[in-house]
Amino acid sequence: MKNALLAHVEGKHLRAKPPEFDVGDIVDVHQRIVEGDKERIQVFSGTVIMRKGDGINTMFTVRRIVNNEGVERIFPLHSPKIEKLEVKRKSRVRRAKLYYLRERTGKATRLKEGDPIVVGEQAGASAAESKPAAKA
């Protein structure tokens, strides 16, 4: 359990609405890069293979293949350097850590397409429609 004082100090630096994504999703991470006195946005696209940590220490790892070489970058979720995170595609996986993708190349790295995201009242309505009516 966290100390109340530590949680209060960390709370100031947490993002109000952290991006919603899971392990296995293909994402674009837009990161601010400072070069000299100039600042630019660099995009890193890849598959999220891991999430770890809690609170301000939450980290996620994104993996991609560049010139037949695997490249992984670890990003802090609540970093002010991360401009935005776009989820390009949701995938359905059965593991919390996808380390097995490190040994795979080409088509073997593909993951199953995830279920479409249903939000709010539509979720309850679609669930009720999918169930067959009880016979009297």
How confident is the model over 39-95, as pLDDT tens digits? 999 999 999 999 999 888 999 999 999 998 999 999 999 999 999 999 999 999 999
Q: How many structural domains is the chain composed of? A: 1
R_g of the chain computed on alpha carbons: 19
Residue 95's CATH number: 2.30.30.790
User: Which residues fall within 8 angstroms of residue 56, CB to CB, at 6 or more apart?
Assistant: 10, 13, 14, 78
Give the range of the structural domain holding residue 71, as residue numbers without chain letter: 4-112
| 90 occurs within a structural domain | yes
User: Which residues fall within 8 angstroms of residue 60, CB to CB, at 6 or more apart?
Assistant: 21, 48, 50, 51, 52, 74, 75, 77
Task: Note the pTM of the prediction, 2 decimals.
Answer: 0.77
H-type helices in the chain, by residue range? Answer: 4-11, 121-130
User: CA-CA distance, 91 to 27, in Å (whole number)?
Assistant: 11
> pLDDT-derived band of residue 9, with 50, 70 and 90 as boundaries?
confident
| 125 occurs within a structural domain | no
82-116 confidence digits (pLDDT tens): 999 999 999 999 999 999 999 988 888 888 887 66
| 41 occurs within a structural domain | yes
